[in-house]
Amino acid sequence: MKGKPIASIVSAGLSRFGKLEGLYAREIFAEAAKEAYERCPNLNPKKDIKALFIGHMGESYEHQGHTGATAADWAGLMNISATRTEAACSSSGAALRAGIFAVLSGLCDVVMVGGVEKMTHRSTPEVTEFLAMASDFPFEQWHGITFPGLFALMATAHMHKYGTTEMQLAHVAVKNHYNGSLNPKAHMQKQITIETALSSRVIAWPLKLYDCSLITDGASCLILTKPELAKKYTDTPVHIIGSGQASDTIGIYEREDFTSLTAAKLAAQQAYKMAGLKPEDIDVAEVHDCFTIAEIIAYEDLGFCKPGEGGHLAENGETALNGKIPVNTSGGLKAKGHPVGATGTAQAYEIYLQLTGQAQKRQVKDAEVGLTHNVGGSGATATVHIYMRC
């Protein structure tokens, strides 16, 4: 039996994703907020929205902190409670959790949650250094390992334990690039072939260029309210019926197994239990494919297949748009882009479109239940949310 809604999405907004030259993060977030307001004409933002929770990973990119107040100002939400949440790449997944708490507590009837990151004006070495701050400093960063290296360790462990192949990784990349080609807001809107993916230069073996997500600018947001108030604002709300969050060791060297993310498995278990659902009930999912191996591991951690079978799921087309369980219909982090603070609520934006029948060329037929899976760092944080069409 499906669980009781805990909060409802009445609108959502997403900026363009890509290299947005000449724009500050605050301006990019204002673009996402503008779309959310325009989608919901029954909402009076200045009157109705009582709090903002915004995910933002790091001050280093723009030498700018105090993101909550800055974003609220540029979104036209002066004098409200405005708070930044930080959980590495799952910062806006954590913001969504905070917004749900605010609504459930009864303190706020309507809140905005979202995220933003401006990254592309920095060099690749700088971005690599800033992202590495989400790993363990004395035992990982200090020794020079970066996130491509950490996820390459996971990939080689998965290959050794289960026989996962570079070809299977490439299938994830090809699928997500195809989906991104159908998304007008995606950073990378071009299809690639298996041969292109396999022949691209090595970043950290076995991960190649097309196994890695993009350095991207972007912002996303959702407007949440109590389920009983949702129809006041829209005829097509999307209910959140499950929410989970968990953590693990900051460094992967402390973990017993590199082939699974314990935090993601625990967060998924919480969300499924709250929603009263099982993995087979999910119609469409957005998962955290910062690297292609991360998507394969996500299939397994979320229960879409047994451990070790994720590569086959991708290779057999079961996660394609017309597959058994379409995954990353937006193009995922791989092709849509990964402005780290914005990713969690950008995933929810895609599920909102899918469940309200607004995903255009990438629409999943009869999608009623969706899931988002947002991971911070190498899996030290994970959030999972489950959504249901009204």
Average pLDDT in the chain: 97
pLDDT in tens, 243-277: 999 999 999 999 999 999 999 999 999 999 999 99
- Residue 92 belongs to domain with CATH number: 3.40.47.10
Q: With residue 82 as reference, give the H or E element that holds it.
A: strand 81-85
pLDDT of residue 61: 95
Residues ≥6 apart with Cβ < 8 Å to 20: 28, 118, 120, 217, 218
Active-site residue identified among 40, 89, 108, 221: 89
Helix (H/G/I), strand (E/B), else coil: 20: coil
- For the chain, the domain total comes to 1
77 Cα distance to chain centroid: 24
Would you call 388 exposed, middle or buried from its count of C-beta atoms within 10 A (0-12, 13-18, 19+)? buried
pLDDT in tens, 124-169: 999 999 999 998 999 988 998 999 999 999 999 999 999 999 999 9
Spatial separation of the C-alpha atoms in residues 137 and 141, rounded to whole Å: 5
Evaluate if pTM is beyond 0.85. Answer: yes
Active-site residue identified among 158, 338, 373, 385: 338
- If one counts every other C-beta atom within 10 angstroms of the C-beta of residue 4, the result is 11
DSSP labels for 49-108? --EEEEE---STTTT---HHHHHHHHTT-TTSEEEEE-BTBTHHHHHHHHHHHHHHHTS-
The answer to whether residue 157 sits within a structural domain is no
pLDDT of residue 356: 98
The answer to whether residue 94 sits within a structural domain is yes
pLDDT in tens, 78-108: 999 999 999 999 999 999 999 999 999 999 9
The answer to whether residue 11 sits within a structural domain is yes
- Is 338 designated active site? yes
- Kindly calculate the radius of gyration of the chain based on its CA atoms and give it in whole angstroms: 19
Question: Residue 380 has which token pair?
Answer: 């030290």
- If one counts every other C-beta atom within 10 angstroms of the C-beta of residue 191, the result is 14
309 Cα distance to chain centroid: 23
The answer to whether residue 199 sits within a structural domain is no
Report the chain's terminal Cα–Cα distance, integer Å: 15
Residue-range definition of the domain harbouring residue 298: 7-123+214-389
The answer to whether residue 17 sits within a structural domain is yes
The answer to whether residue 366 sits within a structural domain is yes
pLDDT of residue 135: 86
The answer to whether residue 24 sits within a structural domain is yes
- If one counts every other C-beta atom within 10 angstroms of the C-beta of residue 129, the result is 14
- Is 187 designated active site? no
The answer to whether residue 185 sits within a structural domain is no
Which candidate, 334, 315, 91, 327, places its Cα nearest to that of 219?
91
